[in-house]
Amino acid sequence: MRRRVTRRLGALAGSATLAGVVLGCTASPEPPRDVILAVPPPSIALIVPRPRPERSPGGRFEQQVFAALEGVCERAWWVEDGDLRVGCKQCPRMPWASPEEATEAPPAAIAHADPALRVLRKFAARLMGNAGPEIVLSYEGCQPEEAGHVGTLVIDAEKQGILRDHSSFELLACRAAPRDEREVLVCIGHEDAWRLRRRDGTKVRTVGVYDGIESRRIGDGGFTEVITWHPMRLFEHNAEYFCGGRSRLPGIVLRFGDVSGMSVTGDLVTFTGTFAKRTPTDAYRQACEDGADLGAVLQAAPFSLDFELRDGKLVATPSAERWLAAAR
C-alpha cells in the first residue's frame, strides 16, 4: 500500500465534465469569493467554465468535508455541473510514509485544473470508541493505474490524520449502529470497485459492516489494519454483460438487480432493492439492441432482506438465507 500511495498522481485525465475551477485552501472553511479559472496548456483541449451557482457556496456537506480534510491535504473547492464540490488539490500524504517518501513532493493536479482527490460521500461513526466520531470519506482519484479509481479514507478529525486509506473500496450508503462502547458502519459497498467487473464479466452486489479496532504499531514501525470490512455477498449482476452475441451461449442464466435502500433498527438490518433471475429471451436480446430498460424486460421484482448484527458482522435470517440461495 505504501508503494501505491507514493505513486499516486494528481487527477484523472478522463474527468471531462469538470468545469475547471480549483482553489487550494488551508485556513478558513469558507469558500473564496472569487473563482480562479485554470487555463490548460495549448496541447490540452480548453475546458469552458460553467457559471458559478447562484446559491450561497459551501453547503453543509461541503463545509463538513472541508473541515474534515484540514491537516490531511491541501484542500480545494471547484464547481462541477453547477454544484460546489470539495476535495484535495494534491493527493494526501500517509502518516506512515517512510522518510524518503515523506520528503517527496506530493503529486499535483494535472495542469492545476483538476483536483487530485474528489470526495463523493461522507459518513461518520465512533469506530474507535473515542468521544468524537471518525470521518469516513468515499473518494475518486489519486491512482495512476486506473481511470475512475475510487477508495475510502478514514480520518481522525481530532488529530487531523488518516487512519486508513482503503484503496479500491467504495461505500455507497452507510448507517451507524452501536457495538459495545463503539459504533460500526453498516453499508452498501463494493470491493475492487476500480475493476468495475470481475474476470467473468459480472458485478457483485455486496453489503457489510465497516468495523474499527484500536490502532497498534507493529515491528517495522507501521500499523495493523485499523478498519476492517466484513462483506456479505448478496448476488451477481450480469445481464448487461451478456447483451449481444454472448446471450446466445448455452446455459446462461441472467441476473439483474441492485441494492437501493437500507435501514438499521437496533440489531436488525434490512436491505431493499430489485432483482430478477431469468434465461435469455428474444425480448431481452431486442432490449439489448435497443438500449431499453433491461430491468423492465426481465421483470425485476422488489426484495427486502433482514439480517442480524452480531459481533460486528451481518448474519442472514432464515428467510434471507433462502432468498440468497435461490438468487445464486
Q: Is residue 219 part of a domain?
A: no
Query: Contact at 8 Å (CB) between 153 and 137?
Result: yes
Q: Which domain holds residue 66?
A: 1-117
List the one residue out of 15, 194, 26 whose CA is nearest residue 109: 15
Q: Is residue 296 part of a domain?
A: no
Distance CA 90, CA 25 (A): 11
d(CA 8, CA 2) in angstroms, rounded, equals 10
Domains in the chain, number: 1
Structural domain contains residue 69: yes
Cα–Cα distance for residue pair 234/259, rounded to 1 Å = 9
Q: 3-class SS at 13?
A: coil
* pLDDT of the chain, 328 residues: tens digit per residue: 434 433 333 333 333 333 333 333 344 444 443 333 233 333 333 333 333 333 334 688 889 999 999 999 889 888 877 778 899 988 887 766 665 655 565 555 444 446 788 899 999 999 988 888 999 999 988 865 555 678 899 999 888 889 888 888 889 999 999 998 899 999 998 876 545 444 456 788 899 999 987 666 555 666 666 788 999 999 989 998 888 778 888 889 999 999 999 999 999 999 999 999 999 999 999 999 998 999 999 999 999 999 999 988 999 999 999 999 999 8
Could you tell me if residue 247 is inside a domain? no
Residue listed under C-alpha cell 432464515: 318
Q: Is residue 223 part of a domain?
A: no
Task: Report how far Cα 281 is from the mean position of its chain's Cα atoms.
Answer: 35
Query: Within its chain, how far is the Cα of 117 from the centroid?
Result: 12
Q: Could you tell me which of 181, 170, 179, 163 has the C-alpha nearest to residue 224? A: 163
Query: Does any domain span residue 104?
Result: yes
- Those residues whose C-beta lies under 8 Å from the C-beta of residue 159, and which sit 6 or more positions away, are none
- Identity (one letter) of the amino acid at 28? S
C-alpha cell at 6: 507514493
Assigned domain for 91 exists: yes
* Residue 131 CA: distances (Å) to CA of 155, 167, 212, 220, 223: 14, 27, 14, 30, 22
Task: Give the bridge partners for 141, in sequence order.
Answer: 117
pTM, to two decimals: 0.73
Instruction: Establish if 294 belongs to a structural domain.
Output: no
